[in-house]
């Protein structure tokens, strides 16, 4: 009996605190990010828990929807390809189980385009160490509290409006 109570307590504590202890530790939102280094376009795919999307399918389209190429992410969630000319690219990640993300890489983010637009600008040195804009993460405590608060408000409104006796 004591074991059952302890197990119950554990489950309730995990349910209550799980989101506080590991906010964003989920696998149902994926992100894909792309950037250019030299003549290569790098993509990085990751879940909101920041774990990489392994063997995710990457498809690259132009903005008219024509598929240019496709590939698979490696064990670090990376996939890269060489480009021939600077152009707007839509990069689509299919992480399986209905998880999908998109990223639009603008032609202005390519070094050649930057040089054309502003000849005085020196080419940017290659960035190392992963996606430079990898800022997005899972939900934090404020979003969770707002959600719970909204459920409480919906409950209160429903109780106010609901007929107390239904036939």
Is residue 4 involved in binding other proteins (CB under 8 A)? yes
Q: Which residues, in sequence order, are CB contacts of 157 under 8 Å at separation 6+?
A: none
Decide: 63 and 44 in contact? Cβ < 8 Å. no
Q: Which is nearer to other proteins, 39 or 102 (CB)?
A: 102
CA dihedral 33, 126, 38, 52 (to 10 degrees): -30
57: β partners: 72, 94
Is residue 30 involved in binding other proteins (CB under 8 A)? yes
Q: What DSSP assignment string belongs to 79-98?
A: EEEE-SS---EEEEEEEETT
Is residue 13 involved in binding other proteins (CB under 8 A)? no
Q: Cβ 52 to other proteins, closest distance in Å?
A: 8
Per-residue DSSP letter, 52: B
Q: Cβ 86 to other proteins, closest distance in Å?
A: 26
Q: Which is nearer to other proteins, 51 or 121 (CB)?
A: 51
Q: Which is nearer to other proteins, 71 or 139 (CB)?
A: 139
Residue 111's H or E segment, with its range, is helix 111-117
* Interacting residues with other proteins between 62 and 121 (CB under 8 A): 75, 94, 96-102
Footprint of other proteins on this chain (CB under 8 A)?
Answer: 4, 7-8, 11, 14-15, 18-19, 22-30, 47, 49, 51-54, 75, 94, 96-102, 138-139, 143-144, 146-148, 150-152, 154-155, 158-159, 162-166
């Amino acid at each position: 009996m004591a074991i059952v109570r302890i197990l119950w307590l554990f489950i309730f504590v995990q349910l209550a605190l799980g989101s506080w202890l590991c906010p964003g530790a989920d696998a149902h939102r994926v992100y894909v990010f792309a950037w250019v280094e030299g003549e290569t376009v790098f993509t990085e795919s990751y879940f909101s828990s920041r774990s990489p999307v392994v063997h995710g399918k990457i498809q690259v389209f132009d903005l008219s929807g024509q598929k240019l190429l496709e590939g698979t992410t490696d064990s670090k969630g990376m996939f890269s390809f060489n480009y021939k000319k600077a152009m707007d690219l839509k990069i689509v990640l299919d992480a399986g189980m209905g998880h999908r993300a998109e990223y639009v890489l603008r032609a202005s983010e390519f070094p050649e385009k930057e040089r054309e637009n502003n000849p005085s600008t020196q080419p940017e040195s290659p960035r190392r160490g992963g996606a430079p804009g990898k800022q997005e993460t899972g939900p934090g405590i404020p979003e969770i509290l707002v959600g719970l608060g909204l459920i409480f408000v919906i409950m209160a409104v429903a109780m106010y409006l609901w007929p107390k006796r239904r036939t």
